[in-house]
Amino acid sequence: MVEHSSQDAAVDPAAEEARLRAAAAAGKPEAYRAYAEHLTGLGRLDEALPWWARAADTGDADASRTLAICHKDRGEFAESERWYRTAADRDGGCAFGLARLLHEAGDSAGAETWYEHGAALGSVECKTNGAVLLAARGEWDTALGRLAEASAEGDDVAAHSRRAIQEMLEDLDGWRAALARAEAEGDPEEAYEALRDLLDPDRKAMFERYPRMVAEAEALYAGAAAVGSAKALVDQALFIARDDSRWDEARALVERAHERGYDGAAYVLGVWAEENGEPRTAERWYRTADEADGGHIWARFNLGVLCVRQRRLDEAERWLGAARGDGADGGDGVDGVDGEDGPHPFDEGEERILQALQDIAAIRADPERMPPAEWADRLEGLRARADEGGPDAWFAYADALDRLYRLPEAAEWYRKAGTPRALLALGRMLYEGGGAKGVRMVPYYEPAAAEGDAGAAYDIGRIHDEAGDRRTAQIWFRRAADLGHGRAAWWLGWTSEERGGDPQHAERWYVRAARSGLVPPAFLAGRSMVRRGACAEAEPLLRVACEGEHQEAPYWLAQALRGLGREEEAERWLRIAAAAYPDLLHQYGDMARPALRDPR
């Protein structure tokens, strides 16, 4: 064993960096990676990327994969794909990364191809993921065989996936057998009950991971419907509705169930109408569900919420009271309403009803949340101009109706106007205040975004982010930021720093966000600059943050001033930071203590 002196162990960081750089600059292939790794470890990815590229150009597959990952984290998906492809034909790791990238982009066929290629190169991860994709489209036997191989090679993910698929197929056989017995007896109710477990919320992940099971469930419910179960028609439709291209088919099935006398079908149609931005149709179906079902609690609750959104507050209170069972329509113990002999069968909804009633009280107490009288006074004149015709007049009338919370009428006039501005206003009205589902509202935002509306592009990104689609969100936030949207730039910066570990890329986005006047990204950009020693650049940003009363900014402004040799000014800001520190620590909690700098 060779002994090292304490002097040898204490390597000068600057000298070590100089040595690595000199070796890389001399053109030594093995030095490219060493220097790139050193810079990456310091968070200096901008400087590292060219050296990673040089390493990749020498055939270093790990360098190609690192480049691809870095560009993917930055949202530069085409560049990421390019670097994966430089080595995917000979490296299982790059084949795996490329397959995942393609799958996330919706190219399942391309993903399967590269998983198969990676598996041939010896990547057990490719074998596992490729097998899962085969299972997703119903090639069960092939998938199970490949998962068994991957499991034997030590892949725990493969073993878990194999067990899950086997259990799922056993359940599928059980559902088929139970349905066959009901079909033989011609019993519609038994046919429906045989499939009840399919709708267990715990199975949601199964259907998302293995879309073939959606088709299997649809076929089972179609069989139960053929026996005569109207309820099965609705559940069949629920599975069909997962495919947006079959939406009309799904709705037609539920309408058929309603025609065949299933009262719950009207409620489903109401929910769907509301999610699709059709408030008038939703109200009609909710009322139908309540009347047909002798008091449908959730139809009543949704009617109450719908009325709140439209500021029909007295009606809202009546519907919510009926949902609790203490209104004029309640208290008879029918289908979810309190009876004298037992507890409310929908106790889990009590908190939601009480919250809605509290919201009504808060709205009544805040004039800013009530329909503005001045717009009610203008309405007659705006309607007269709208009747004369023209998109601008139609938009103006729709806007007034929107401000007055008359959402169904506003929706009709926005649609009539049909301009990008009108469709954007319609999408926002329905999504932000009308109960519509976000992704279904995206087409209303797209025309304005195509014309360069930064806010519309940002909203599309936000909708996809809330839906869990990070890739699409990142694409739209990038478009919005390039159009000058500050919050989109802030999101991109946060994503780069927190998710990607890329402070340099994040800093650039924070600076762009700060230019729009946002205080938090001004602080984040300034802090990043201080950390890398760019104190002169940091000072104006941190002063903006201090003026905006950002509580952490005084400490970092003091550090910037110290770095500029202005000790007296720095001391004043440190005293401000020290005075605020106890409150800041209390606000953030003990968990944040290690991350907060103590100015004292």
The pLDDT, as a whole number, for residue 6 is 46
Question: Do 71 and 102 touch, CB atoms closer than 8 A?
Answer: no
Q: How confident is the model at residue 342 (pLDDT cuts 50, 70, 90)?
A: very low
Q: How far apart are CA 410 and CA 24, in angstroms?
A: 65
Mean pLDDT score across all residues of the chain = 91
> Do the domain assignments include residue 295?
no
Structural domain ending residue among the three candidates 90, 122, 154: 122
The pLDDT of residue 337 is above 60: no
How far apart (Å, rounded) are the C-alpha atoms in residues 166 and 128? 15
Smallest Cα–Cα separation from 175: which of 200, 199, 202, 194?
Answer: 194
Residue 207: inside a domain, yes or no? no
377 pLDDT more than 80:
yes
Q: State the pLDDT at residue 106.
A: 93
Structural domain tally of the chain?
Answer: 3
Please say if the pLDDT value at position 343 is more than 70.
Answer: no
Percent of the chain with pLDDT over 70: 93
Q: Please tell me the predicted confidence (pLDDT) of residue 348.
A: 66
Q: What is the pLDDT of residue 580?
A: 85
Provide long-range contacts, Cβ within 8 A and 24+ apart, for 369-372.
370/311, 371/311, 371/403, 371/404, 371/405, 372/403, 372/404
Which 3 state secondary structure label does DSSP give 339? strand
Quick one: which H or E segment has residue 467? none
**Band (11; pLDDT cuts 50, 70, 90):** low
Looking at residue 336, its pLDDT comes to: 36
Average pLDDT value for residue range 522-544:
96
**Mean pLDDT across the stretch 415-439?**
95
Q: What is the pLDDT of residue 334?
A: 32
Report yes or no on 374 lying in a domain.
no
CATH code assigned at 521: 1.25.40
Whether the per-residue pLDDT at 481 is higher than 60: the answer is: yes
| Cα distances (Å, whole numbers) of residue 382 to 60, 393, 406, 423 | 68, 7, 14, 19
pLDDT tens by residue, 14-66: 899 999 999 999 998 899 999 999 999 988 999 999 999 999 999 999 999 99
pLDDT at position 501 is 81
Residue 329 has a pLDDT of 40
Residue 484 in domain: no
Return d(Cα 224, Cα 193) in angstroms, integer: 9
DSSP, residue by residue, 219-247: HHHHHHHHHT-HHHHHHHHHHHTTSGGGH
What is the DSSP-derived secondary structure letter of residue 371?
A: P
For residue 495, give every residue at least 6 positions away whose Cβ sits within 8 Å of its Cβ, in sequence order, or none. Answer: 73, 75, 474, 506
- Which pLDDT score is estimated for 591? 62
State the Cα–Cα distance between residues 373 and 381, nearest whole angstrom. 14
Does residue 363 sit within a domain?
yes
Domain encompassing residue 580: 517-600
- Residue 400 lies inside a defined structural domain of this protein: no
Is the pLDDT confidence value at 347 over 80? no
Hey, is 414 helix, strand or coil? helix
Dump pLDDT digits (tens) for 380-409: 999 999 999 899 999 999 999 999 999 999
Among 342, 368, 394, the domain-final residue is: 368
DSSP H/E element including 421: helix 420-433
Q: How far apart, in whole angstroms, are the C-alpha atoms of residue 145 and residue 131?
A: 8
Q: How far is 410 from 428, CA to CA, in rounded Å?
A: 12
CB count in 10 Å sphere of residue 533: 11
CATH code of the domain covering residue 113: 1.25.40.10
Q: How far is CA 591 from the centre of its chain?
A: 26
> pTM, whole model, 2 decimals?
0.88
The Cα–Cα gap between 371 and 500 comes to 45
The token duo for 193 is 């009950």
How far apart (Å, rounded) are the C-alpha atoms in residues 81 and 97?
9
319 falls within a domain: yes
Using one digit for the tens of pLDDT, what is the confidence trace for 121-161? Answer: 999 999 999 999 999 999 999 999 999 999 999 999 999 99
Q: Across the chain, how many H-helices and E-strands are there?
A: 34, 0
Could you give the 3-state DSSP secondary structure of residue 159?
helix
Residue 526 in domain? yes
User: Which residue is listed with tokens 């968990």?
Assistant: 591
- Is residue 142 within 8 A of residue 173, CB to CB? The reply is no
Domain boundary among 105, 122, 139: 122
